[in-house]
Amino acid sequence: MPRLSRRGKIIVIALAAILLLALGRLLLAVPEPEVSLPAEEVFSIAGFPITNTVLAAWLTILVLGGVAYAATRRMKLVPKGLQNVVE
Q: Specify if 12 maps to a domain.
A: no
Q: Quick one: how many helices (H) and strands (E) in the chain? A: 3, 2
**Domain-located, residue 49:** yes
Residue in 59, 76, 58 with CA at minimum distance from that of residue 86: 76
Q: Phi/psi class of residue 80: alpha, beta or left (left: φ > 0; alpha: ψ in -120 to 50)? A: beta
**Phi first, then psi: what are they for 25, rounded to 5°?**
-65, -40
| Residues 49-65: tens digit of each pLDDT | 999 999 999 999 999 99
Domain-embedded: residue 59: yes
Q: Which of 54, 86, 55, 81 is nearest to 69 (CA)?
A: 86
Domain that holds residue 45: 41-86
pLDDT for 66-87, tens place per residue? 999 999 998 889 888 888 988 8
| In a domain? residue 55 | yes
What digits encode the pLDDT tens for the residues 5-61? 889 899 999 999 999 999 988 888 788 889 988 999 999 999 999 999 999 999 999
* Structural domains in the chain (count): 1
Domain-located, residue 28? no
Considering the domain boundaries, does residue 57 fall inside one?
yes
pLDDT above 70: residue 1 = no
Answer whether residue 68 is part of any domain.
Answer: yes
